């Protein structure tokens, strides 16, 4: 068990963003996290990696209680993430961006070693030829891959992916899926938020469904897709429902 | 002892109203566009000189003179916005801080060449007012009244006119306001103009109390920072209350310790409030 | 490649090394005074740049460290009889200590709030020192004449002070380079670009920022001691001038923030321009306005500063101008 989330509750003022969320993530697993917009998926990520402290509940990572730990300490334990809205460090080159991940990730590397690692991760996401460009000059798909390379360079045990497929065209989606599978082959566990249903259903070992901050279903992709509660949650969103039923 | 305490407190509070108006201009600009206007002090000084020139050379009653001074302040603000601020409105804070500071240097530089730095004063007395054991210059009372009037006008403008509502909308969420079809550039320019107008009027009011030079705006700019933070940056009514607090402190502190400790307390409080409650004493946490 | 094999490492150091060396060789008083003012500007601007340029935190009241350190060093050498060298380090250490103390709290504020807080700290410090008896209150302190005797009288003492300033400036530039090109510096640049994203990547932002604040406060304290010893007196009005603080920012912007060469180019350029405007018959009365107009033009049209602009436009010079 690499990650255990137990009874996590997070409020913003009067808004209950997460209520009593509990789940486990097995080592080597790809766990999909789906739910309508505003269900609290990104908030859950933020609680897991220490951006927010939960009101109550517990998050354990590799057997260690990390609840309320600042995000940099969580990162150093081997938990890396990407952001839904890409956040490249604009003035730095693509390589320098990835070096930050390597220098401050799970293993503390010197600049020289970080450079080598960075080039390795950039190669994995097919960005090596852009290494010396300022990261602000990349397009959206490249920025998504940069985020991924940055997270990989930290040599994490667990990777949180927040909508890495959003905004990509079908061929880019296919290649990103291959990359995600390859990452898992390297022994990294993955928790991913995704709106592209077909993709998340095919890649995940198990799926979690979040609605209004509550976990309404957990299980294998086909179980979740046929769960009446899940279909109801998506009914407010006809496009999603159609997608879900098409599975 | 108590008489003296009440007397100096009243004195400070009356002055506080005028501080409040000066700070309101700064806080309005911050609230709408997140720019700290470092040209605020020199504009206050220009307000002083505008009132002075109209009074001394044209014989205009200083309080009437504040009407054209306000108009000139509005126009000056529009010009400053268009030339110096508009281009850096979305740049990092350093850019807008330094751009407005450049305007500060230009105004002070030209002002020093034109007016020199020798002190001037408006030689116009309204006599003094006695209320019970309290005696204070009538100009203070008129100044406080003027400050309340200006605040009331600002509020009526912000809440009951179209451009005023547009300013509030842009302050609330510029992007959403733009999507609703509000021309945000014009609204930003207008807000900047209003902010400098308040500064100019405050300068005019202060000029009726104390002698002044072209450099006199500086201390009031610093006071405005303190007041804005006390009242919550971006909150005009908070600025008036902050002004009263600062005025009150300036009245009270000297009865307990030497006058020279006043700025220590003021700026110490300023840093403390920034750290503990950056939204101001009355702001949401 | 190691640092000492890179031209970008050597260029600023060699410039200042040769410059100070020439001044010492020619040994002329007016030349020393000019060089003192310029080197001081380089040192102060470079110290500020370590914070401003690398972390993006705009310290508007950075002059407070020049003032507090200057006062402390001045007190140590004039009232306690410390040698100049030790007193200057003492002044620097006090500034660094204060920065460490307030840094943890103040650096939680971001953007304009931080800038405002630093102005407040400077004003509070000025007001406090004006009331602080041991430091002479509002009238300040004068150098005890015997302090000059140790260095062979006032004349030679000025040369000793200049030499210390020269070395200090070299050290600032060296530290600036080393910070920028270290693992630590990479973390700072990440903070500058996106602090929250940097923390998610594992950068301990609060600690890194505080350490940087401490480094960038130390040198102004040393320089302050040297400057006020040279002047022979110190008073609150001179030590905590907000105006000087903003001049430091202007120099950094003019030269190019976040670069090692930028503050050097900017400080020399700004002081030269100021000197020219002050003595020019046409601009003399309007020097402040002209300087303001030029600042505005730079902010609006060349925000990367001189060095930044050259780096962006002449790729071949990127390795030389760090």
State the first-to-last Cα distance of chain B, in angstroms, to the nearest integer. 38
Interacting residues of A221 by C-beta distance below 8 A, sequence separation 6+: A32, A200, A201, A202, A204, A206, A207, A247
Domain stops at, among A139, A155, A171: A155
CA distance C33 to C235: 20
C287, C250 contact by CB (below 8 A):
no
A123 and A204 in a common domain: no
Select from A113, A135, A155 the last residue of a domain.
A155
Which of C200, C206, C258, C319 to probe the A interface (max A CBs under 10 A)?
A: C200
Hey, how many other C-beta atoms are within 10 angstroms of the C-beta on A26?
13
A172 and A240 in a single domain? The answer is yes
pLDDT digits (tens, 9 = 90+) for A166-190: 888 889 899 999 999 999 999 999 9
Pairing label, strands C141-142, C233-234: antiparallel
- Residue A163 and residue A70 in one domain: yes
Q: What is the DSSP letter of A63?
A: T
- Distance, in Å, from the CA atom of A146 to the CA atom of A169, rounded to the nearest integer, reads 17
d(CA B228, CA B237): 10
Burial class (CB in 10 A: 0-12, 13-18, 19+), B86: middle
Q: What is the pLDDT of residues A28-68, one digit of tens each?
A: 999 999 988 888 999 999 999 999 999 999 999 999 999 99
Question: Residue A235 corresponds to which tokens in the numbers above?
Answer: 């009914």
C interface mutation test: which of A47, A49, A87, A100 has the most C CBs within 10 A?
A100
* The pLDDT value given to residue A236: 64
Residues of C in contact with B103 (CB under 8 A): 292, 296
Give the one of B106, B266, B274 whose C-beta lies nearest to C289's C-beta.
B106
Domain ranges of chain B: 2-117+145-276
What average pLDDT does the segment A219-232 reach?
86
* Number of other residues whose CB lies within 10 A of the CB of residue A152: 27
Give the largest Cα separation in chain B, rounded.
60
Q: How many CA atoms lie within 13 A of B171 on its CB side?
A: 21
What residues of chain B lie within 8 A of the CB of C284, using their CB? none
Low pLDDT (below 50) residues in chain C: none
Q: Which of C127, C246, C250 sits opposite B267 (nearest CB)?
A: C127
pLDDT of residue C277: 86
What value, to the nearest 5°, has the Cα angle with vertex A48 and ends A47 and A51?
Answer: 50
Number of domains within chain A: 2
Closest by Cα among C164, C27, C14, C38 to C91: C164
CB-based contact A127:A144 (threshold 8 Å): no
The whole-number pLDDT of residue A80 equals 95
Same domain, A126 and A226: no
Beta strands at C233-234 and A214-219: parallel, antiparallel or unpaired? unpaired
Q: What is the pLDDT of residue C194?
A: 93
- The secondary structure of A9-62 as a DSSP string is EEEETTEEEEEEEEEEE-TT-EEEEE-STTSSHHHHHHHHTTSS--SEEEEEET
Which pair of structure tokens corresponds to residue C127? 């007001």
Are the beta carbons of C88 and C148 closer than 8 angstroms? no
What are residue A217's DSSP bridge partners? A209
Residue A9 sits in the same domain as residue A127 = no
| In a shared domain, residues A95 and A204 | no
Give the distance from residue C278's alpha carbon to the nearest chain A alpha carbon, in angstroms.
37
Task: Write out the two tokens for A88.
Answer: 């490249």
Would you place residue B285 in the very low, low, confident or very high pLDDT band (cuts 50, 70, 90)?
very low
- Cα–Cα distance list, A173 to A164, A181, C74 (Å): 9, 12, 66
Q: How far apart are CA B66 and CA B207, in angstroms?
A: 11
CA C59, distance to chain mean position in Å, is: 12
Chains that touch A (3 or more CB pairs under 8 A): C
Cβ atoms < 10 Å from Cβ of B64: 12
Half-sphere exposure of B139 (CA within 13 A, CB side): 16
Residues of C with a Cβ under 8 Å from any A Cβ are 181-183, 186-187, 189-190, 192-194, 196-205, 258
Tokens, residue C92: 């620097």
Question: At which of A109, A140, A155 does a domain end?
Answer: A155
Helices (H), C181-204: 183-193, 195-200
B102 contacts on C by Cβ (under 8 Å): 292-293, 295-296, 299
Cα gap C231→C141, rounded to integer Å: 11
Sign of the C-alpha dihedral computed for residues C4, C5, C6 and C10 taken in this order = positive
CA C302 – CA C9 distance, rounded (Å)? 25
Bridge partners of residue A9, in order along the sequence? A56
Any chain C CB within 8 A of the CB of A89?
Answer: yes
A193: enclosing H helix or E strand: strand A189-193
Cβ pair C296:B92 closer than 8 A: no
DSSP C318: G
Phi, psi torsion values for C194, nearest 5 degrees: -165, 95
Question: In the predicted model, what is the mean pLDDT of chain A?
Answer: 90
Distance, CA of B282 to CA of B230 (rounded, Å) = 8
Nearest to B19 by CA among B108, B128, B171, B151: B151
A92 and A194 inside one domain: no
Residues contacting residue B2 through CB under 8 Å, at least 6 positions apart: none
Do B264 and C127 count as a contact with CB atoms less than 8 A apart? yes
Mark yes or no for CB contact A100/C198 under 8 Å: yes
What is the dotted CATH code of the domain comprising B2-117+145-276?
1.10.3470
> Which of C106, C116, C128 shows the shortest C-beta gap to B264?
C128
Range of A104's domain?
A: 85-155
Measured distance CA(A217)–CA(A232) in Å, rounded: 12
Nearest CA in chain C to A78: C202
Closest CA to C306 of C321, C291, C292, C316: C321
Q: Which residues pair with A81 in a beta bridge?
A: A160
Q: What is the pLDDT of residues B53-83, one digit of tens each?
A: 999 999 999 999 999 999 999 999 999 999 9
Query: A239: buried, middle or exposed (CB in 10 Å: 19+, 13-18, 0-12)?
Result: exposed
Nearest CA in chain A to C195: A89
Per-residue pLDDT of B224-272, as tens digits, reads 999 999 998 888 889 999 999 999 999 999 888 888 899 999 999 999 9
Dump pLDDT digits (tens) for C22-46. Answer: 999 999 999 999 999 999 999 999 9
Instruction: Indicate the CATH number for domain C3-319.
Output: 1.10.3470
Give residue A218's Cα distance to chain centre: 17
Distance CA C12, CA C264 (A): 7
pLDDT tens track for B160-196: 999 999 999 999 888 898 888 888 899 999 999 999 9
Give the residue extent of every domain in chain C.
3-319
CATH code assigned at A55? 3.40.50.300
Counted residue by residue, chain C has a size of 322
Structure tokens at B56: 């001394």
Collect contacts of C151-158 with beta carbons under 8 A, ≥24 apart: C151/C84, C157/C84, C157/C229, C158/C29, C158/C32, C158/C230
Phi (first) and psi of residue C283, to 5 degrees: -95, -5
* Nearest C-alpha neighbor of C322 from the set C309, C311, C312: C311
Return the number of CB contacts < 8 Å for A and C. Answer: 71
pLDDT tens, B80-124?
999 999 999 988 888 899 899 999 999 999 999 999 888 998 888
Give B143's contacts (C-beta < 8 A, 6+ positions apart).
B14, B15, B17, B18, B205, B206, B208, B209
Here the tokens at position C290 are 């002209």
* Residue A199 and residue A168 in one domain: yes
Report the pLDDT value the prediction gives residue B284, as an integer from 0 to 100. Answer: 53
Distance CA B197, CA B25 (A): 7
The minimal CB distance from C186 to the residues A51, A87, A96 is found for: A96
Pair of tokens at residue C189: 């640049």
Which SS3 state, helix, strand or coil, does residue C162 take?
Answer: helix
Whether A104 has its CB under 8 Å from any CB of chain C: the answer is: yes
Q: Check residue A198 and give its pLDDT.
A: 85
pLDDT at residue A247 tops 70 = no
The minimum CA-CA distance between C57 and chain B, rounded to whole Å, is 9
């Amino acid at each position: 068990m690499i990650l255990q989330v137990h009874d996590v509750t997070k409020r913003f003022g009067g808004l209950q963003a997460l209520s009593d969320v509990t789940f486990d993530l097995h080592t080597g697993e790809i766990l999909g996290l789906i739910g309508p917009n505003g269900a609290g998926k990104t908030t859950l990520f933020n609680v897991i990696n220490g951006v927010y402290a939960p009101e109550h509940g517990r998050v354990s990572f590799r057997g260690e209680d990390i609840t309320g730990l600042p995000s940099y300490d969580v990162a150093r334990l081997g938990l890396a993430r990407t952001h839904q809205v890409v956040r490249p460090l604009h003035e730095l080159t693509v390589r320098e961006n990835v070096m930050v991940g390597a220098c401050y990730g799970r293993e503390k590397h010197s600049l020289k070693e970080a450079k080598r690692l960075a080039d390795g991760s950039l190669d994995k996401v097919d960005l090596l030829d852009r290494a010396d460009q300022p990261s602000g000059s990349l397009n959206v798909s490249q920025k998504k891959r940069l985020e991924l390379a940055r997270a990989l360079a930290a040599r994490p045990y667990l990777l949180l992916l927040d909508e890495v497929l959003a905004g990509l065209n079908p061929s880019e989606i296919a290649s990103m899926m291959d990359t995600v599978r390859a990452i898992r082959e390297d022994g990294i566990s993955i928790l991913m938020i995704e709106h592209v249903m077909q993709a998340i259903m095919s890649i995940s070992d198990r799926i979690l469904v979040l609605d209004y901050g509550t976990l309404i279903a957990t299980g294998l992709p086909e179980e979740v897709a046929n769960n009446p509660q899940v279909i109801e949650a998506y009914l407010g969103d006809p496009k999603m429902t159609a997608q879900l039923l098409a599975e | 002892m108590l008489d003296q305490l009440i007397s100096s407190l009243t004195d400070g509070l009356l002055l506080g109203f005028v501080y409040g108006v000066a700070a309101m201009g700064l806080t309005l600009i911050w609230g709408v566009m997140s720019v700290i206007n470092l040209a605020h002090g020199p504009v206050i000084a220009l307000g002083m000189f505008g009132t002075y020139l109209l009074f001394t050379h044209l014989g205009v009653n200083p309080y009437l003179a504040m009407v054209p001074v306000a108009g000139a302040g509005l126009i000056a603000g529009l010009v400053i916005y268009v030339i110096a601020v508009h281009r850096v409105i979305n740049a990092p804070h350093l850019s807008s801080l330094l751009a407005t500071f450049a305007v500060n240097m230009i105004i002070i530089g030209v002002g020093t060449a034109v007016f020199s730095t020798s002190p001037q004063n408006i030689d116009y007395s309204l006599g003094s007012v006695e209320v019970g054991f309290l005696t204070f210059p009538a100009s203070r009372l008129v100044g406080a009244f003027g400050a309340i009037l200006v605040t009331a006008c600002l509020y009526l403008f912000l809440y009951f006119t179209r451009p005023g509502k547009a300013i509030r909308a842009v302050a609330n969420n510029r992007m959403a306001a733009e999507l609703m079809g509000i021309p945000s550039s014009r609204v930003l320019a207008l807000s900047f103009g209003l902010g400098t107008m308040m500064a100019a009027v405050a300068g005019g009011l202060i000029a009726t109390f104390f002698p002044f030079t072209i450099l006199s705006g500086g201390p009031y700019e610093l006071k405005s920072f303190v007041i804005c933070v006390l009242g919550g940056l971006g909150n005009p009514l908070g600025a008036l209350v902050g002004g009263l607090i600062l005025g009150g402190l300036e009245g009270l502190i000297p009865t307990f310790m030497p006058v020279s400790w006043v700025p220590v307390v003021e700026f110490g409080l300023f840093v403390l409030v920034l750290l503990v409650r950056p939204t101001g004493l009355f702001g949401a946490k | 490649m190691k640092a000492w094999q890179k031209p970008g490492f050597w260029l600023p150091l060699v410039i200042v090394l040769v410059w100070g060396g020439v001044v010492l060789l020619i040994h002329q008083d007016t030349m020393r005074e000019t060089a003192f003012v310029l080197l001081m500007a380089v040192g102060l601007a470079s110290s500020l740049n370590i914070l401003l340029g690398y972390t993006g935190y705009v310290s508007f009241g950075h002059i407070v460290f020049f003032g507090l350190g200057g006062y402390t060093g001045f007190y140590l050498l004039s009232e306690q009889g410390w040698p100049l060298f030790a007193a200057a380090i003492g002044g620097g250490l006090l500034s660094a200590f204060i920065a460490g103390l307030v840094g943890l709290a103040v650096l939680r504020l971001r953007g304009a709030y931080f800038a405002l807080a630093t102005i407040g700290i400077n004003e509070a410090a000025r007001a406090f020192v004006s009331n602080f008896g041991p430091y002479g209150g509002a009238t300040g302190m004068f150098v005890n004449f015997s302090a000059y005797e140790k260095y062979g009288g006032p004349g030679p003492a000025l040369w000793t002070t200049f030499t210390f300033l020269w070395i200090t400036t070299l050290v600032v530039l060296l530290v600036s380079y080393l910070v920028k090109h270290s693992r630590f510096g990479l973390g700072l640049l990440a903070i500058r670009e996106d602090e929250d994203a940097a923390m998610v990547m594992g950068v301990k932002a609060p600690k890194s920022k505080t350490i940087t604040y401490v480094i960038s406060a130390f040198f102004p304290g040393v320089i302050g001691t040297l400057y006020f010893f040279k002047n022979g007196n110190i008073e609150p009005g001179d030590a905590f001038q907000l105006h000087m603080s903003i001049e430091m920012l202007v120099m950094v912007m003019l030269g190019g923030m976040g670069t090692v060469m930028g503050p050097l180019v900017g400080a020399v350029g700004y002081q030269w321009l100021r000197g020219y405007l002050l003595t020019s018959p046409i601009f003399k009365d309007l020097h402040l306005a002209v300087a303001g107009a030029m600042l505005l033009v730079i902010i609006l049209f060349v925000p990367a500063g001189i060095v930044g602009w050259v780096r962006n436009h002449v790729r071949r010079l990127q390795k030389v101008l760090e």
